[in-house]
Structure 1
């Protein structure tokens, strides 16, 4: 039989036990399909491995770059957004004529994939290739990344990965 002391100790331990952690959320940008409509979950996108780069999938119309230092995000957030955008294939990701930028994906706490270029658009899988360039070329040893690269085939749509 448990003493009152044991019951209080067990209750205190259960209150102090850490909550189970779920994967950070992946949130599609305005106008893009929801994860539910694609039968996807954030957990699934975070479980996918780092993609392999196709060197032929980078436009050379705009010079890509890494940083800035304050914009680095967890690389796993960028990878999850890459998989979401790549999976959209030939759906268009674009910036409306009335805006200078448009968010294509957010993940975790403030990580985002954003396109810059008034009226510019590309297939989402080509936007994903710009994200992959940043993942491959700008990831630091602490497993964080940030940078900008052009969407494949459209150097007018610059894709920023960061916060």
Structure 2
């Protein structure tokens, strides 16, 4: 039985043609369950702080049929109270480099000049997702790796 997480989403095969809804995986794809969907913060009265399905990698519902295991939630403590010094990055940020920062407090500098503490929980081929420290709380956040100028794990 397909999971709809409380949404009434009627499926009318003749409407979409081919017996499948656009944007959804074929039946049986992914072992019958969609790991990480819906994203954290989606229910329970919490304010959502996530990206729409289809963004980036494969965990936390990005996309909803992607691989990866859902791992816990945000850190139980705030990030360090200092701002680390940025080091010059001569190369583009790649998934292998930032993967070493998984589940560690990481300071991120974006190309647009923004900077913030981040706690990554997923690294995809083109994106990273996790929790961003904003307004004295952790908010689920994801971004394209091309938007990151540099980063530093603590």
Same fold (TM over 0.5): no
Normalised by the length of structure 2, the TM-score is 0.19
Tell me which of the two structures has the higher relative contact order, counting C-alpha pairs closer than 8 angstroms and 6 or more residues apart. 1
| Larger Cα-atom Rg | 1
Which has the larger helix fraction?
A: 1
